[in-house]
Structures are given as C-alpha cells and as structure tokens.
Amino acid sequence: MSAPLPPPSESVSLAYRQIREITPDLGRRYGNLAKHLDLSYNQISNCTGLSYFSHLESLIMDGNAITSHTNFPFMPQLHTLSVNKNQIQFLPQFVDKLRACAPKLRHFSMLNNQACPNFFNQGTPREYQDYRKFVIARLENLVMLDSSNVSPQERAEARAMFGNLQIASTGDSLATEARRYQLAASPVAPSPSPK
C-alpha cells in the first residue's frame, strides 16, 4: 500500500512514489498552489503535465527517465531545476529546450547524465569545463550550475567560446512548442483572438 498523498501546499514532495506520468489529477490537486515541486526518483519521462503547475519556481526531477527528447511546457517563473541522474545524452538539444521554456532559470544541475561529462561518468576536467561554458552561454541567467557558482570570468569565457553559436532548432520554435504543451494541458480553453 502506498503512502497517502500530501496535502496541497506551496512546497510539495512526490518523490519515491513510482509516478510514471504527471496526470491531470495531480495537476488539479497541486497545480494552482505549488511553487516548489519534488518529483525525484520516480519513472517520469514526459514532462508536459507540468503545464498544470502554473506557479512553479523550483523543480527537482532527479532520478527519473528524462532524456534529451523530453518536452517541457513553458514555465515562466521557474528559476531552479535539478535533473541529476537521468538519461540526458545530447546537451545542445536539451539545453536549448530549457532556454525556450524556462527563461528565468538561475540554478540548474544535471550531474550524472551522459551529456554532463564529470567524475560520475569518467569525464575529464577539461570536458566538464567545456560543458559548463556551453551551458552558461546558452542559459544566460544562470548564477549556479551543478554545485558551483558561475563566476564573472567563467561567464566571459563562455560568451567568447559559444556566444554566437546557432543551434539547428531555433529558440523561437522551441518556445512555441513549449507554449503549445502548456495550452494543450490548460484546464481552461484559451479565448479566441480578436480578428
């Protein structure tokens, strides 16, 4: 028998509950109030159900089944995201999705993923520094990446190395895609636009 769900509040932990999907029921129960959500160590691979959580500021999804192909809804208030120990392999694809759907992201961690070469997966210090520079250049508001603050020197080096890099899938199309997932899961249909 599983433990009962916690009551709705601003901080909700649904960690270690064998959740496979962020359902409309979870959205109705927690979505209007939750600002801080912990979904760690479940089996979630599809994050579009997060669109029910319209006030999210921090999200912990460590130890799930998130991949580079996982889609996220537009989360305009999200400033903290942790996706450690998932199945993320392709850094540019994943980071550019985050750039489009979480424009205020300031704290981000993705240790123990193949796309983050570090001591957990036999990455070299040089590979990890290149990874940091790429992520810092793409997510320009970051103040902390993984477990370290972003220094002004590191930000300058990141901009010099990757500042003008264009990724094949543009941020605009990714942002449009993220907003589409948000509207699809919205409990209220959008009002028609004036002609």
How do residues 56-108 score in pLDDT, each as one tens digit? 999 999 999 999 999 999 999 999 999 999 999 999 999 999 999 999 999 99
In a domain, 191, yes or no: no
194 located within any domain:
no
**Do residues 47 and 24 make contact, with C-beta atoms less than 8 angstroms apart?**
no
Q: What is the DSSP string of 14-79?
A: -TTS---S--HHHHHHHTTT-SEEE--SS-----GGGGG-TT--EEE-TTS--BTT------TT--
Q: Tell me if 192 is assigned to some domain.
A: no
> Among residues 136, 84, 128, which one has the least CA distance to residue 105?
136
Does a structural domain hold residue 3? Answer: no
Name the domain count of the chain.
1
pLDDT of residue 179: 52
Quick: pLDDT tens for 111-154: 999 999 988 888 899 999 999 999 999 999 999 999 999 999 99
Asked if the structure places residue 195 within a domain, the reply is no
Element (H, E) at 158: helix 152-162
| 4-53: pLDDT as tens digits | 999 999 999 999 999 999 999 999 999 999 999 999 999 999 999 999 99
Cα 140 to Cα 150: distance, rounded to the nearest angstrom: 10
For residue 92, is it within any domain? yes
Q: Give the CATH number for residue 98.
A: 3.80.10.10
Q: Does the pLDDT value for residue 187 go beyond 50?
A: no
What are the backbone angles phi and psi of residue 109, rounded to the nearest 5°? Answer: -140, 135
| Domain-embedded: residue 137 | yes
Q: Note down the domain range covering 53.
A: 11-185
Q: Does residue 181 lie in a domain region?
A: yes
